[in-house]
Amino acid sequence: MLRLIHNQTVQGPLVIKDIDDGIPNKTAKRGTGDPKKYHRDGSTPGGKDLSTEPGVNYPKQSCYVPRTKIGNPAVAGYIDLVESDRVLMSQSKGDIKGFADASKITVVSYATTDLATPVVTTVELNRPTTGDLTITGTGLTSLTPNTSTVVITGTGATTLTQAAIVTAGGSVGATAIVIPAALVTGVVVTASSAKVLADDNYSNIVAVTVWSLMTPVIIEALLSNPTTGDLTITGSGFVSTGPETSSVVLTGTGAVTLASADIVSGSGTFTDTSIVIPAALVTGIVETATSAKVVADTKDSDVVALTTWNLATPVLTAATLDSPTAGDLTLTGSSFLSTLPNVTSVVITGTAAVTLTSVQILEGLGTMDETSIVIPAALIPGVATSTSSVKVVADTKDSAVVALT
C-alpha cells in the first residue's frame, strides 16, 4: 500500500489526475464474450479479495489528497492507495512523482498489517523509575501522519497525546510506551486502567499493576570458567523484564560493557542466575585488576572482583565416624569447595549408601569449608565404619575413595 500525505505547503487539496481516467467502469474482460470489450481500473468480480486474486483490476482510487485529515484538522491529510500498475506508474513518472519531487506530498509505503489494532499486554506503575508508567504490547505506534494516544481511566484519569509524552521526556514505540511520572500523578494500581489509540483503533483495556524492581545480585565472577578465558557470573535477577535490556559492565583492565544480546550473539549464555561470556568478548581481562557488575531493569548489582576458577581435584585424607559427636561424620582433606555454579557432593557407598550435596549438608546443620566437612548424624543414619566408604566430588572431579574409620 501507498500513503500520500499532504505536506501542507500549499492551500487546498492536491489532485492526482493519472490514476483514474474518469470513464465509468466496464465489467467485461477482454476475451470473454465480445472480444472488443475490455475493463478499466475499477472492474473486479464481486466479492474478490484484491490482495490475493491475481489478474483482476483494482477499484477506482481517490484522486484528491486533502490538506487536513477528515474529522481531525490538526493532522495532515492523506489517502491510501493500492499499488496497482497505474498507481506505480504515477509514482515512477507521473503526478505522484511530480508532487513528491516538489515536496508537496510525502509518499509512505506500508503493509496492511502496519494498521493492525494495538494490543496492550501490561500497564506497570513505577517502571522504569518511581511514578513512571510503562505500557507494553504490540502495534502501539501509528502510521504517519497519525499519532498514538494513551487513555487512562479511573483514578488519575487523563488522555495523553504522543506529542505530550515525548515532550515530557517519555517515549512511544511499537512495543513500549514510557510515560514520565509528572504526567500520571494520581494514577493508582487499585483503581486505574489504560488503553492505547493507534491508527484510529483502540486497544484492549488493561489494569495498572506495580512493577517489581528486583535488584540483581552477583554471588561470584569467575575467570576461566567454564573454559580458559571465559567469564562466568552467577547470582540472581540478571534478566530484565523489558523494554530495558540487561548488560554486564567490566571495569579496570579490559574494561568493557556488553549487552545481553551481544553476549548471546557471541555464543555465550544469559539467564536469570548465570551469565557465561566467551573468551573472545573479554580479551584482556585480568583477575587482579578487574571487577564486574550486572545492570538489569536499570538497576545496578553489587560490584564483585574477578577470581580464577579453581579446578583442583579434591583430596580426602580421612573419614571419621562419630566425630565430633556420636553418629556424625567428619571428612578432612583439601579443595572440598566447588566454584559456582557447581556444587560439592559427598558420596557414601556400602551400608546406608547415600549422596549428599553441599546444600543438603548445610541445610542439615552441617559445616563445609575447603579442608573439612562435618555431616550431622541425622543425614546418615545406619552408616557403619566396617562396610562403608566415602568420596568427595568438587568441580565435577572425584577425590580418592576412603574407608570410614
Ramachandran area for residue 199 (φ above 0: left; ψ -120 to 50: alpha; else beta): left
> Using the 8-state DSSP alphabet, how is residue 338 labeled?
P
Percentage with pLDDT > 70 across the chain: 86
At residue 346, φ and ψ (nearest 5 deg) are -115, 125
Query: Rounded to the nearest 5°, which phi and psi values hold at 269?
Result: -130, 150
Q: State percent of the chain over pLDDT 90.
A: 57
pLDDT tier at 50, thresholds 50, 70, 90:
very low
**Cell numbers linked to 182:** 509528572
118 burial level (CB within 10 Å; 0-12, 13-18, 19+): buried
Residue 30, pLDDT score: 46
The residue among 298 and 197 whose pLDDT is bigger is 197
Per residue in 219-252, pLDDT tens?
889 888 888 889 999 888 898 875 668 999 999 8
pLDDT at res. 95: 93
Instruction: Please state the pTM of the whole predicted model.
Output: 0.52
> How far is residue 161's CA from residue 362's CA, in Å, rounded to a whole number?
57
CA distances from 352 to 296, 347, 389 (A): 46, 11, 10
Cα atoms in the Cβ-side hemisphere of radius 13 Å centred on 147 = 16
Q: Is 277 helix (H, G, I), strand (E, B) or coil?
A: strand
Chain mean pLDDT for the chain:
86
151-202 confidence digits (pLDDT tens) = 999 998 999 999 999 999 999 999 999 999 999 998 888 889 999 999 999 9
133 contacts 154 by C-beta, under 8 angstroms: no
C-alpha cell at 395: 568441580
Per residue in 53-66, pLDDT (tens digit) is 444 555 555 688 99
Residue 40 pLDDT greater than 70, yes or no: no
Query: Is 204's pLDDT higher than 80?
Result: yes
pLDDT in tens, 320-329: 999 999 999 9
The DSSP string of 155-212 is TT-EEEEHHHHHHTT-EE-SSEEEE-GGGSTT--TTTEEEEEEETTEE---EEEEE--
**Per-residue pLDDT at 38:** 44
Reading phi first (left if > 0) and then psi (alpha if -120 to 50, else beta), residue 82 is in beta
Lowest mean pLDDT among 61-70, 196-205, 346-355: 61-70
Give the number of other CB atoms < 10 A from CB of residue 231: 28
Contacts of 194 (CB under 8 A, 6+ apart): 120, 123, 133, 135, 150, 151, 152, 153, 205, 206, 208
Coil/strand/helix, residue 280: helix
Q: Which three cell numbers stand for residue 239?
A: 534478566
